Amino acid sequence: MKRKLILIDPGHGGIDPITEQYTTAPHKMARHPGEQMHNNGWFYEGAWNRFFTLEIAQSLSVYAIPCLFTIPREYWHEDTPLMKRVAYANWLHQMHDILFISIHSNAHDTTVRGWQVHTSPGDTNSDKWATMLYDLVNEEVGGLITMRSDTSDGDIDYENKFTVLKKTRCTAILTENLFFDNLEDARLLMNHHFVQRLACAYVELCRQWVIS
């Protein structure tokens, strides 16, 4: 039997420690003038994805739950190509039973809010774990946020042909943690207490994966 393993995929790029520039600019960013965000009112999705990934990993370490990242720490700020992330996940899956979680935040037209989870099209094992995470997030912070779902196929997750979902061979989900171009959602994402509560839902999902 393969050993259970959590593989977290922080979407997009981070902030270059030398240049202090956001490596995914001018994409995946939104400005909220006068707000305390990542840089002069700018919210950088990739930087937040990394922050949240480390928040989850820190809590997982308390439970001694094995966790790896799709991006090596020496290249932590880089916007790693999608197929490189997929290749690493599939290589690990040969030796481990992987739960792949891709971390993102969404954007639309500044008016839309909410949290949602995606899986690849069709009825797969990923649907079960997406539904479990949806319920855990709703239980933890549902009173503070909008919970977005697509029940057209009988469950709550959105189905999409995202590369990291379609090409990975393991159980894989992708989460959109609120809408960073919406001011109220962005404020929540920059609130450490809220982030800790949100991370608790992910940690519980991982705990259930390990003991399943």
Instruction: Provide the pLDDT for residue 1.
Output: 79
Instruction: Provide the pLDDT for residue 29.
Output: 98
In terms of C-beta distances under 8 Å and separation of at least 24 residues, what long-range contacts does 88-94 make, across chains too?
Answer: 88/7, 89/7, 89/9, 89/164, 89/168, 89/169, 89/170, 89/172, 90/167, 90/168, 90/169, 90/170, 92/5, 92/7, 92/68, 92/170, 93/168, 93/169, 93/170
Q: Which residues on neighbouring strands pair with residue 171, listed in sequence order?
A: 99
Which are the contacts of 87, defined by CB distance < 8 A and separation ≥ 6?
none
Closest CA to 167 of 89, 70, 92: 89
Instruction: Provide the pLDDT for residue 178.
Output: 98
Instruction: Provide, rounded to the nearest whole percent, the portion of the chain with pLDDT above 90.
Output: 97
How far apart are the C-alpha atoms of 62 and 135, rounded to whole Å?
23
Instruction: Provide the pLDDT for residue 182.
Output: 98
Per the structure block, which two tokens stand in for 19? 């240049």
How far apart are the C-alpha atoms of 11 and 53, rounded to whole Å?
10
Q: How far apart are the first and last CA of the chain?
A: 12
Domains, the chain, in order of start with CATH, read 3-211 (3.40.630.40)
pLDDT, one tens digit per residue, over 182-205 is 999 999 999 999 999 999 999 999
Per the structure block, which two tokens stand in for 68? 């790896």
pLDDT, one tens digit per residue, over 84-115 is 999 999 999 999 999 999 999 999 999 999 99
Residue 151 has pLDDT above 90, yes or no: yes
pLDDT, one tens digit per residue, over 10-27 is 999 999 999 999 999 999
Instruction: Provide the pLDDT for residue 86.
Output: 98
Tell me the pLDDT of the chain averaged across its residues: 97
Coil, strand, or helix at residue 10?
strand
